[in-house]
Every structure is written in structure tokens, then in C-alpha cells.
């Protein structure tokens, strides 16, 4: 384990890049996905169909391929983005689709009768969304969203393929230098876990807080 | 003033009742020629009737006869194909004369005039009893919270649930939930109250507490339309009984009269079926 501790500083520095990408991916994909999910649940039929197409396409494409497309495609569009930006954009596009589907399903799972009760006291569509459908929907969406967030964090490791210097990339560097594959990857595993674990903790905190007797 | 006529005794209703309250006045609810189809099935076949201010009208009839659908049309939870509904002089759902759907804002505003209580209470499960009641006044009427809270507590006291203000719906019995739902509807200070089989989902021993809340309301002169299967209650509380059959009104009159001289064999048959079950 000495080799791991000797290289820990280097790995943690790379973990910081992973953490940044992870936060960006989760925050943006959740914001975008929630907005799109609302439209997918309640919007016009054209918007709904387009979003469903988006979800279907993304479901059928490996995240790695999306990262390649972003990495090689953005320069073609005349956008000079650093590799970690390209990778993060791909991750956001990928995970926003899952969030869209989760949020859509959760909003539609709120009973119609509860929505009608809101209408009956004179609430407007936006108020029903804000005060009834979203708060009730989020409770349903929470468990799948947590799973999605953890997968998103771990998927940042794919960015290593396009040369982003993050935890997985750095760990391979160290392994090549030290030839201590087991020790290093074991340490890396623990670091990934330490990044993901707070998400689960936060989620169970939210869940405890949001249960109504 | 519109003195509440029925004081929970059959005798009162028996005095032949040509509209006790100003027949010249505008009706509180006017339903004229309303038809409603679900696909090929015509659920409402040209329903017309007026409800005067302070009047309690009870709709009875077999399941699927259109009673609940009509009630939902009055609050525009259902669209209807033709005819007009007016509540407090204002057209519901479609602008006067033309079949154009009103704006969402107009529909929402109109719904506040008619308080609706549902069979399955439909309380907001993530809000406490008092929050359920305050939601409309605060969000729709822009009342400040302390004012809305005070009014909500008054209403909870009125339905006998003051001590349950901070309970969530899941911590309340069905009867209690339904009384909170009644208070929630009343909080909007509606002109009329619509009750859609409000005791049908309740355990038998919880029915009476909800019916009592309805009786109290009728005594205060609230204009009400009640869909129910509780025959005895219907007779007690109704100024007027409407019997629905296959999307039409086939009996209409004070309960005593309707029961004494039904115009149709269908009504006789219907009553016979219920007499064994729901009357003690």
C-alpha cells in the first residue's frame, strides 16, 4: 500500500478534476433534465415527441461514443473547447436524457385527482406544477435520481479516453510508472467511493425530510 | 334574505315548495341544455335546471347516470359539447354565446366560486390539514399567511378538527380528511358548494360526521348541489331532489313530493333497491 500512499497526492489532484467534472455534469444535467422533464410531461405534443426522441436516441448510444462525437465534432462546428469541456458537454447531454425521463414519469405519476383538487380551488397551471406536481413528483423521482447521479459521477472516467487528465487517466499514468496496478486501482476505487458516498447520504437525508408521516 | 328552509326534518320539505326564495332573482346556478359525450356515449342529454341562492339540490340516480359528470362540468373539470352553465351569472368554461374555451385565468377564477368536494377527499398529501386549507387563499386570493391561517383555523373548528390542524392527511381518518376537504373548499368563500359522493369512500361509522358538516352548511344558507347515495340524508337536507337516469333528469321536485308521487316507474324501482340497504 506504500506505493498508493506515495502517489496519493498526485491522485487526489486528479480527483479534483474528476470532482469538478462530476459536479458540472450532475448540476447541469439535473437542471436541463428537470426543465425538459416538465415539458415532456406537460408540454405540447410536438415538444413531447421531440423529447421522447431525444431520450430514445440517448438510451441507445454508449456514453463513450457521445464523448467521441463531442470531442471530434465540436472543432468541426468551429468551437475550440478543451477536451474536458467537450467530455462534460457529452456527459450532460447523456445524463440529462435520463433525468428528463425520470422527471417526466414522476410528474405523470402524481394522481390526476390530486391535480384536480388543485384546479378546483382555483390554482393556475404553473401553481399546480410548483406546489403540487413538482413537490410530489420529486419524492417519487428521488431514488432513481440518486442512482443516476452516482452513475454520472463514475462516468466522468470515460473522459480519460479523450485525454482528459482526471482520476482514471492519472491512475493509469501512475500504474505505468510503478507497475502496481492492484494497489493504485484499489486506492482509486476508494476515492471514487468517497466522491459518490455523500450523494447517497444527502439523498437519504432528503428522503427522511420529505416523508410525511 | 334566503332563510335556509330545510332544517333536517322531512316535515319542512313537505310544505309544498314553490321557490321560497325570490324566484325573480337571478339563479345562482343555471344549467341549460348541457350535453356531454364520452366518445359515442352521451352521458348528459341536454340537462337544464336552475339552483336558487341558498337552495340545496340533491342529485340521485344509478351509477353512470351522469350526476357526477354534471357536477364536474359545473366546475369545468369536464368539458361539455353544447349548452351553457352559469354560476353566479357568469358563464362557465365557454364565453357567452360562442363555443370558445375561456382563458385559463378565467376558468381558474370561476372555479373559486364553486367549492368542490370529491369522493376520495384528494387532499394534498405533502401538506398538513391547515396548509391544505390555506393554499387557495394564499396562492389564489393573495391573502397574507396570518390572515389565511386565522380563517383556516376557524373553518377547522367549524368542522370539528381544530386540534388536527398540523396533522398530515395520512394521519387522519377518512371522515376527518373529508371534513378537511370541506374546509379547504370553504376557505375560498365560494358562492356554491358541490359535493360529489362525499361519503361513498367512507367506513359506515364515519359517514355521519361528514353528513353533519353538510347539514350545518345547509342551515347557514349555503347554495349546494349534492350527489349522494344516502337516501335518508337526501330527503332530510334537500330542498329539491333531481333523479338522473341515463343522462336525463326524470324526476324533479321537493323530496317528499317526489317520493309520494314519482312520475316514473324507474324512480320507484330505484328507491326500492336502496330502501333495503341504506335506510335503517
Write the pLDDT tens digit of every residue in A151-171.
999 999 999 999 999 999 999
**Chain A contact set for B171 (CB, 8 A):** 213
| A110, A115, A122, best to mutate vs chain B, most B CBs in 10 Å | A122
**Chain B contact set for A111 (CB, 8 A):** 122
Average the pLDDT over B193-213 and give the result.
94
Helices then strands, counting H and E runs in chain A, come out as: 10, 0
Please report the pLDDT score of residue A206 as a whole number: 84
A4-23 residue pLDDT tens: 889 999 999 999 999 999 99
Handedness of CA B116, B120, B121, B126 (dihedral sign): negative
pTM of the model: 0.84
CB–CB contacts below 8 A, A to B? 74
Please tell me which of the candidates A113, A139, A212 has its beta carbon nearest to residue B168.
Answer: A212
- Closest chain A residue by Cα to residue B126: A212
Please report the pLDDT score of residue B20 as a whole number: 45
**Chain A contact set for B115 (CB, 8 A):** 120-121
Q: How far apart are CA B164 and CA B162, in angstroms?
A: 5
Using the beta-carbon criterion (under 8 Å), do B170 and A212 form an inter-chain contact? yes
Please tell me which of the candidates A114, A123, A127 has its beta carbon nearest to residue B122.
Answer: A114
Using the beta-carbon criterion (under 8 Å), do A121 and B112 form an inter-chain contact? yes
DSSP notation for B56-118: EEEEE-STTSSHHHHHHHHTTSS--SEEEEEETTEESSB-TTS--BPPHHHHHHHHTTEEEE-
Please tell me which of the candidates A114, A119, A131 has its beta carbon nearest to residue B111.
Answer: A119
> CB contact, 8 Å: A37 with chain B?
no
- Closest chain A residue by Cα to residue B75: A120
Domains: count for chain A: 1
In contact, A148 and A199? CB cutoff 8 Å: no
A121-137 residue pLDDT tens: 999 999 999 999 999 99
Q: How near does any CA of chain A get to the CA of B82, in Å?
A: 22
**Chain B contact set for A140 (CB, 8 A):** none
Using the beta-carbon criterion (under 8 Å), do A212 and B185 form an inter-chain contact? no
ipTM: 0.85
Please tell me which of the candidates A119, A124, A139 has its beta carbon nearest to residue B105.
Answer: A124
Q: Look up the domain containing A48 and give its range.
A: 2-209
Task: Please give the share of chain B, as a percent, with pLDDT higher than 90.
Answer: 79
Q: Which domain CATH number covers A46?
A: 1.10.3720.10
- Show the cell assigned to B63: 351509477
Residue B15 has pLDDT above 90, yes or no: no
Q: How far apart are CA B140 and CA B188, in angstroms?
A: 9
Residue A84 has pLDDT above 60, yes or no: yes
Using the beta-carbon criterion (under 8 Å), do A121 and B75 form an inter-chain contact? no
Amino acid at each position: 500500500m506504500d506505493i498508493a500512499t506515495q502517489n496519493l497526492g498526485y491522485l487526489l489532484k486528479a480527483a479534483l478534476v474528476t470532482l469538478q467534472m462530476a459536479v458540472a455534469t450532475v448540476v447541469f444535467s439535473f437542471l436541463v433534465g428537470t426543465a425538459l422533464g416538465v415539458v415532456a410531461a406537460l408540454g405540447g405534443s410536438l415538444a413531447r415527441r421531440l423529447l421522447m426522441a431525444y431520450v430514445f436516441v440517448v438510451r441507445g448510444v454508449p456514453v463513450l461514443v457521445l464523448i467521441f462525437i463531442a470531442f471530434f465534432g465540436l472543432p468541426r462546428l468551429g468551437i475550440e473547447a478543451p477536451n474536458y469541456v467537450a467530455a462534460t458537454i457529452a456527459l450532460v447531454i447523456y445524463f440529462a436524457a435520463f433525468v428528463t425521463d425520470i422527471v417526466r414519469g414522476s410528474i405523470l405519476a402524481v394522481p390526476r385527482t390530486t391535480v384536480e383538487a388543485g384546479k378546483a380551488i382555483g390554482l393556475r397551471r404553473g401553481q399546480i406544477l410548483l406546489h403540487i406536481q413538482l413537490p410530489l413528483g420529486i419524492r417519487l423521482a428521488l431514488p432513481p435520481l440518486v442512482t443516476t447521479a452516482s452513475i454520472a459521477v463514475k462516468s466522468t472516467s470515460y473522459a480519460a479516453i479523450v485525454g482528459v487528465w482526471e482520476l482514471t487517466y492519472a491512475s493509469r499514468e501512475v500504474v505505468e510508472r510503478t507497475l502496481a496496478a492492484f494497489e493504485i486501482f484499489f486506492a482509486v476505487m476508494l476515492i471514487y467511493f468517497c466522491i459518490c458516498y455523500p450523494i447517497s447520504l444527502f439523498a437519504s437525508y432528503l428522503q427522511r425530510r420529505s416523508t410525511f408521516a | 334574505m334566503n332563510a335556509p328552509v330545510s332544517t333536517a326534518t322531512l316535515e319542512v320539505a313537505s310544505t309544498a315548495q314553490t321557490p321560497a326564495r325570490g324566484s325573480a332573482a337571478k339563479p345562482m346556478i343555471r344549467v341549460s341544455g348541457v350535453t356531454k359525450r364520452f366518445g359515442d356515449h352521451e352521458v348528459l342529454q341536454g340537462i337544464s335546471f336552475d339552483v336558487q341562492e341558498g337552495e340545496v339540490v340533491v342529485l340521485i340516480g344509478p351509477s353512470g347516470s351522469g350526476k357526477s359528470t354534471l357536477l364536474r362540468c359545473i366546475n369545468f373539470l369536464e368539458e361539455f359539447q353544447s349548452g351553457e352553465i352559469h354560476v353566479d351569472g357568469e358563464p362557465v368554461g365557454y364565453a357567452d354565446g360562442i363555443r370558445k374555451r375561456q382563458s385559463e385565468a378565467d376558468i381558474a377564477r370561476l372555479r373559486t366560486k364553486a367549492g368542490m368536494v370529491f369522493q376520495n377527499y384528494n387532499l394534498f398529501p405533502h401538506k398538513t390539514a391547515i396548509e391544505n386549507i390555506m393554499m387557495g387563499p394564499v396562492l389564489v386570493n393573495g391573502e397574507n399567511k396570518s390572515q389565511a391561517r386565522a380563517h383556516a383555523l376557524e373553518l377547522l373548528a367549524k368542522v370539528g378538527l381544530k386540534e388536527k390542524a398540523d396533522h398530515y392527511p395520512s394521519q387522519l381518518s377518512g371522515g376527518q380528511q373529508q371534513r378537511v376537504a370541506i374546509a379547504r373548499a370553504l376557505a375560498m368563500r365560494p358562492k356554491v358548494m358541490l359535493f360529489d359522493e362525499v361519503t361513498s369512500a367512507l367506513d359506515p361509522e364515519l359517514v355521519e360526521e361528514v353528513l353533519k358538516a353538510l347539514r350545518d352548511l345547509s342551515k347557514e344558507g349555503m347554495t349546494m348541489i349534492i350527489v349522494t347515495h344516502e337516501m335518508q340524508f337526501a330527503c332530510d337536507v334537500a330542498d329539491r331532489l333531481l333523479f338522473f337516469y341515463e343522462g336525463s333528469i326524470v324526476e324533479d321536485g321537493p323530496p317528499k313530493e317526489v317520493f309520494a308521487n314519482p312520475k316514473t316507474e324507474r324512480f320507484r324501482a330505484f328507491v326500492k333497491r336502496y330502501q333495503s340497504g341504506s335506510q335503517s
